[in-house]
Each structure stands twice: as structure tokens, then as C-alpha cells.
Structure 1
Amino acid sequence: MSSRCKYYMLIITIMVITASIPSIKVNAMDGHEILAQQINQLINNDPALNGAIAGISIRSAADGKIIYDHQGDVRLRPASNMKLITAAAALNILGENYTFVTEVLTDGPMKKKTLNGSLYLKGKGDPTLLKSDFDQIAVEIKKHGIKKINGNIVGDDTWYDDVRYSLDLPWSDEMTHYGAQISALTASPTQDYDAGSVKVVVQPATRKGDKPIVKMTPKTNYLKIVNHAVTGAEESKKNITIERVHAKNTITIKGTIPIKEKPEQDWIGVWDPTRYAMSLLKQSLTEHGIQVTGKLKTGMVPDTAKMLTTHHSIPLSELLVPFMKLSNNVHAEILIKEMGKVKGKGSWENGLKVLNSELVKFGVNPKTLVLRDGSGVSHVNLIPANQLSQLLFAVQKEKWFSSYLQSLPVAGVPEKMIGGTLRNRLNDPLVRGRVKAKTGTISTVSSISGYVKTKSGQTLIFSILLNNLLEDTKGKKVEDRMLTIIANQ
């Protein structure tokens, strides 16, 4: 027999054997072929995914069984979907009722309403301290009969280590509120609790050519405003920039804001949040009639110091709302360090070790992950979609699950502390309110993972990780189309 005949005989044999094998439904299980077909068609045809990588995992919330999987075991950058892991571990280790404590102590005696010694402000990680809280601390100090402090204000931030930035934080994020320095002693401008930052609002003046009006929250002399901006004509284009100078607390404002334009606002991370918090306390003391003769210094509280007052944060169950709804990076990194501190040392290295050991309890395999921070800002973080969906399945049995679920953004709900980062997405009446999920965005990455109530009444768990995108906004549109398909099952 010739070699060509042998070749054809081999082909025919393969065809016969193949025909005898039952057909395999790729990616779809248990009658979800239509769902698989629709998602596969979207993946294959949407130009936003050309050259990109999509990891998708869909499970039944009832039994955890995977009903759709597209590259679900491929490690991908999760962006802020990393916070789903951080929040679950924090709830498990710290508990729903956990609060952060700030202590005020002194090492000197009081004589004739004068405290002859330093006042110590010891931070233990509270990211929710507001100017109003420092005012209350001042009131409590005044209740001790103190009208003068003949000493320094000393900030003690040694509850955590002195590493201020996570390993892979981009240098360009330094001045931003989402890249703010991590300290055990810090302060927030508003009840969004963007710890370690100030809110800056630029609004046009009443006359063209004048400098715009700049307002900072909280009002503080810790930062200096340099205003080079100008109020432009009504038809001019708004091009305001608000930037902090590297390693300094000088905020420079440049550009033009039209005379009737809406205010421009931004949140700017401060340099040295420890001294920022100390300066707010000194300001509150002065405003409440307590004179401070000394300076702002950093140091450790001596063993001989006596407690004057303490301040407790809101419980973790409440903190989760701004943390997850608004995707607060600083909260995530503080929780990592706090978990590390509970188990020994308040550092990223120790906190991430604790995090990895905790994940096993949720059926997540740490050996499949690369974790470098708690927020997901790192481009080195790698998580498979199937591991995220497994976490979301497992946490349903935890006693704290209601707090966890309540913290997730709700699709299409405009209220900031309900809709969160999903308040302007998935507004279709068929989907609105039926998706509760954590979003994620870093350069070239978009992600979303959570829970969806389908048209048929079942709850499905999903994780969608899109990497190597040219435009993350187009990736979000893909996610929304995909979630609409899932919701309408």
C-alpha cells in the first residue's frame, strides 16, 4: 500500500473514532448551553476584547457548582476585586464589631490648669478620624481642667511599621487620595473617609480674570495652596489641574475655569499623614482655648504615660460600606496591616501572610495566587476568576455575610453609599438593583465580581476579569453586556 493510501486510511479511522465519542459542551454545564453560547459569542465578537484576556467564572450560589468557565483558572490581574479577599479575611479575623482606637496620653503632672509635659497622640490605624473628632478630643482634654500644655504634641504611629507605600504603587499615584501614605495615625477630610488626604474645591470667581476661589476640607494650615489659576470667560474651556508637589505639602492649582462653570474638586494625598493628624489636634486644642507651647514631634509613648481619653472608630461592619462601595485603597492597606498586627507585626509582609493563611478557610488555594497588596493597585497581583467565585460562594455561610453583601455596590442605584461605583452602570430596568458586585480598574484592567439575581429567580455568582485592554471603559461596557446576559437567564 502506498504512503498516500496509508495516510487516507488513517484519516478515515480517526473520523470513525471521533464520530463515536459523545459531543462535549465546551464551557457549559447542566443545561446552561444558551448562556454559554451568548457569552462565547460576546467574547469572540466584541472588538474591545481583541488582543485582551478574559477570565470568567459563573457558579450557582446554591451549591457552588461552576456553570460557565472561560479561562477561569488563568491567573489575571484583579484590580480592586482584590478587596473582596481583603474584606472577607478582615471580617473573619477582626470581626464585624471591631473598632480602631486612638489614645491620648500625657507624661507630665498638672498644676493650676497647666499640663507640664507632652501630650501624646497614639494612632492604632483608625482611617475615619475627622476634624470633628479632634474637636471632641479637645473637649475631653478640657474636661480634665487643662487650659495650657507646657510641652509638645507627640504623634506615635508605631502601631504599624514605617513603610508608607505598598511595594508596587506607581510613583504617579503619590499625590492622589487613592495612593495616600499608610500610617497608623492619619485623618480624613469627609465621611467618605479618604484617609491621609484633603478635599480641594476650585470654583470660579464672580469676575472674569480673577483668581478662582479655593476651599480645602478640613481647613488647615498644614498644606499651602499656590493658586495660579484664572477665572475665564463663560465660553472658555475648563482645564483646571490640582497637584501636590512631590515630598511637600504645597498644592498648586493651574489652568482656567469658566465664570459660570461648576466647581472642580479633587482629593489630594498629604505628605506625612502622621504630622497631618497631629496638626489637626493642635488646631482643635487652640480653637477650644487650650494653649500649646511646644512643637509637633513624633515618638513613642513612654511606659509611664497616663491615659487622658480614647476615641473609637465606627465598627468594621460600617467601615466596609465606604471601603467597598467607593473602593477605598487606603482602607484596604490599613486592614492588611491591622491583620498583620493582630498576629504579630503591622506590616504588609506579615498582613499578607495572615491573609493567605485565612483564604484556605474559604476553599481558596493560595498557591494559585500572587498577592502583593490589599487594594489591588499592584499590577503584580494575580488571581484566577474561579478562585474569586469560590470565595464568594464560601462566604455566604459566614455569620458576617450580610455585612459583606451590604457593602457591595448595587447596580443602577444612584445613591452614593448604595450604588457606589455601580451607581451609573447597568441602568436597564431588567438589571437595575439585581447585581451586587465589586468593580475594579487599573491601567489596561477592568474587573467585576459578585452576585446577580436572574430573571428566573436564582442567584448566580460571577467573576469577570478583563486584562490587556486598550481602553478600560470599553471593557466595562463588555462587562455590562455580559451581566445583562446572565441576569436575563
Structure 2
Amino acid sequence: MAGAASGRGSMAAYAVNDEDTADADTVISEEDLPWPANVKARIGSLLENDMFETSTVGIMVYDLTADSAIFCHNARQLMRPASSLKMMVAVAALDRLGYGYKYKTTLSYSGTIDSCVLRGDIYCKGDFDPAFTTSDLNDFVDSLKSLGIDTIAGDICADFSMKDDDRLGEGWCWDDDNPVLSPLLVSRKDEFVESFRKKLDRAGIVVDGSVRSCRTPGNARRICTVERAIGDVMIRMMKKSDNLYSESVFYHLAASSGSYAPATAKQGRQVMNRLIQQLGFKPSKYYIADGSGLSLYNYVSPELEVAFLKYAYKHKKIYEPLRELMPVAGVDGTLDDRMLRGYARGNVHAKTGTVTGVSALAGYCTAANGHVLCFSIINMGIRHSSSGRRFQDRVCEALCRP
């Protein structure tokens, strides 16, 4: 690992040691230093900011082309990642599930259809599709109409068995705008069955029974399935940092753990921990409480985030979609209003993260010499997230400019 940035002495000019030149006392400007020494000097200068008298930052920059770390500062310190955790979840999902993995929300029935009357129950089985809308619900209604059904002599059953009963994440603040973790949502609201019944009524389909929760029986006949590729979900998860979308991906990771029980956050954490261990780290040193980064209990390190970025880079099936999913500096997503000028614009592809007291940025960029870099920057203990963002933007510019 590359050496940490030096202390609070100025690095605008750089004293070169005997290994760098024959004259140990020569002082030259950072622009005249060979790469990557000039990058180290630039970031070192940025660490002179007064903000670090009352806050801390962890940084790791890795040269993927040369396969070597070029800058580390508090890189192994445990820090709250905020929404930069979504990058780690995305890497795990692309690795384990693949970009084409499908969500499947299904409509089924039991019983028989006799002269336009369904003598049985209707089952709506959720798959925690965060993008399911009223338009998709219309497809369910249309599929019933296509069978000639105008009366349901039975119940509307909501099947929530895909995941556990937890509707909020571990360590979430009560006063945050938290998403509802329900496997049956319509337009982000936990009103699926009620909305479905209203649409049936408007379509002239009478429901004689009630609304209840139950599992879909194995002999139920499928009427309609609304599918959605996880890649489509991950676009909003990464570009807009949507917490509901990232939690849904996290729970699908949990469901892939091999357990037949409803998916839980604990199972999602176990899947993440297996990848952490595969990367050569001890999972017990870190804690991943959720899939969005909202939890106060999440703790990772810049070094661990960089390890995930390195792993993705080595696997084309992960890296190519991941890079496209990330916000682009000065162009789109949560970076559309940052790094609007300079060499970082259009170059930096990175996931942002912001919760109270924390600002983070983790992703990729290309240096002026053509080397592909990955980095993680986590600012903690900041009163205003804007100060962390400004620091991160300056680090990115230092990485990208000649």
C-alpha cells in the first residue's frame, strides 16, 4: 500500500528525497514532479484545509492500470459510507445476480372460472419491485378481463412472503424520509391491494370477498407476470441514489442466499460478507446494516470500497454496467451540478453519499496519462455536507488534470 499523506506541513512545494533525485534538498513545484508523485503532492496540499481541525477524512486512490495504490490517508479507518454503500451493493448484485436478473410480480388464481365468475381467490405475489406503477397494475386488471371474468367470488390475497415483516431498516433515524420496505408496492406506496381493488371496481369487476394476506398456493394458476430487469432498477438506484431501489436490490441479494425463508437484511449482510471475505478482508471488522447507507450502524473503510471497485474493474460483466450506472461529474445524476468545469467534468464516474455529518464519493476516473484510477473519499464530522463535496471535487480535479 502506498504511504499515507504527510502531516500538516505544506505540500504546495515538494521536498524530493535521495531516491527521487541526486539532490536531496531540491524543492520543486508539484507540477514538475513525476506522476504519481505530483498527485500525492496535490492531495497533500488539499489536506491543509482548516476543515480538518474539526473533521476527518479517509482517502484511498488506486491506479488500476499500474495495479498499485498511489495515495492513502486514514484508508483503513472505519467510517459511515452513507449512500456510497450503494456502489458496494451494486457490485455484489452485478456479480451474483447479473444485469439481466428479473423481478417478477405475479397475479394468480385458485378455483374455477364459470360463466364469467371466478369461484376462488386472486393472489398478488410481490417481488419487491420498487418501480411497479399503476400502469403495471392496469396490466393485472386487463389480464383478468381477458379471461372474461366480471365477478370474483372469493378474496383478494396479498402475498408478502418474498421478505420478512420489517418495514424499516436497522439503525434508521425515525425523523428521516425513510422508504417502506414492502414487497408489494405500487408507485412507491404500501397500498397495492387497495389500489388493485379500486381498479377492479372501476373496470366493472365485482369482488364478493375481502382483502387478506396469505401465501400463493402451489397449485394456483398464473394469469399475469410483470417483469423488470434489475439493471433498470439499478439505474435510478445509482444515478438518483434512490434508497427504496437500493433496498430492493439488497433484499434480492438476500433472497439469493439459498435460504427458503423470507429474505432478511441479515441474509443480505451475509451475502455481502462473503464477497468481503473473498476480497481478502475480515467481515467482522465491518458492518453492513442495510442496502441504502441510511443506517447509523453501517461501517466500512475507504480501503474496502476501493477493493470493491478493483474487483469490479477486473470483471467486465461488472465494470462495464457499473461505470455506466454511476453519476457522471457535471453531466447527470447526483453529480450533475458538481465539477462543472475542469478536467474532472465528464471524466469522474462515482457514487455520492450524504447523511448528517457525512459526505462520501467513490468511483472511477482517468488520469491525464491515460491510467484508470479508482478512489474512495469519506468525510466525517462535517457540519455542512457542502464542505465535504467541495473537498472531494478538488481531489477529483487533482486526479484528472495534467
* TM score, norm. by length of structure 1: 0.72
- What letter matches 1:335 in structure 2? V
Q: Distance in 2 between matches of 1:132 and 1:330?
A: 19
CA distance in 2, matches of 1:468, 1:383: 16
| Cα displacement string for residues 110-156 of structure 1 (whole angstroms, at most 9, x for unaligned residues) | 22101122211011222221100000111111111111212221111
In structure 2, the residue matched to 1:317 is 231
Residue 50 of structure 1 corresponds to 53
1:349 equivalent among 266, 269, 272: 266
- 1:292: Cα distance to partner? 2.1
Distance apart, 1:100 and its partner CA: 0.9
- Alignment partner of 1:400: what SS? helix
Q: What root-mean-square deviation, in Å, do the aligned CA atoms of Structure 1 and Structure 2 show?
A: 2.2
Partner of 2:320: 402
Larger radius of gyration: 1
1:335 paired with 2:335, answer: no
Q: 8 Å contact 1:39–1:485 — kept in the other structure?
A: yes
Amino acid across the alignment from 1:435: V
Residue 444 (structure 1) aligned to one of 352, 357, 379: 357
Q: Is the 8 A contact 1:368 1:384 kept in 2?
A: no
1:198-277 alignment, distance < 5 Å: 273=190, 276-277=191-192
Could you tell me how far apart the structure 2 residues matched to 1:126 and 1:477 are?
35
Give 3-state SS (helix, strand or coil) of 2:47's partner: helix
Q: Which residue number corresponds to residue 42 of structure 2?
A: 38
Report the 3-state secondary structure (helix = DSSP H, G, I; strand = E; otherwise coil) of the residue aligned with 1:103.
strand
Does 2:159 correspond to 1:124?
no
- Of 158-167 and 451-460, deviating more is 451-460
Cα displacement (A) at 1:356: 0.7
CA distance, structure 1, for counterparts of residue 204 and residue 368 of structure 2: 62
Q: Distance in 1 between matches of 2:213 and 2:111?
A: 17
Question: 1:279 and 2:283 equivalent?
Answer: no
Q: Distance between the aligned counterparts of 2:275 and 2:138, measured in 1?
A: 38
8 Å CA contact 2:253, 2:271 repeated in 1 = yes
Q: Which amino acid aligns with 1:69?
A: C
Distance 1:457 1:304 in 2: 59
Matches within 5 A, 1:366-445: 366-398=283-315, 399-413=317-331, 419-445=332-358
Alpha carbons of 1:48 and 1:410: their partners in 2 closer, same or farther (altered >3 Å)?
same
| 2:213 equivalent to 1:298 | yes
Q: Which amino acid aligns with 1:290?
A: I
| Cα deviation digits, residues 389-433 of structure 1 (max 9, x gap) | 1211121122232111110000111xxxxx100011110043210
Contact persistence 1:116–1:150 (CA under 8 A): yes
| Structure 1 residue 476 displacement after superposition | 0.7
**2:379 counterpart residue number:** 466
Rounded Cα–Cα distance in structure 2 between residues aligned with 1:307 and 1:38: 61
Q: In the aligned structure 1, how far is the partner of 2:126 from the partner of 2:210? A: 18
Per the TM alignment, residue 48 of structure 1 is displaced from its structure 2 partner at its CA by 2.9
Confirm or deny that 1:457 pairs with 2:375.
no
SS in 2 for 1:451: strand
Question: How many residues are aligned here?
Answer: 372
- Aligned letter for 1:480? D
How does the TM-score come out when normalised to structure 2? 0.87
Partner residue, 1:219: none
Q: 2:38 is matched by which residue type in structure 1?
A: I
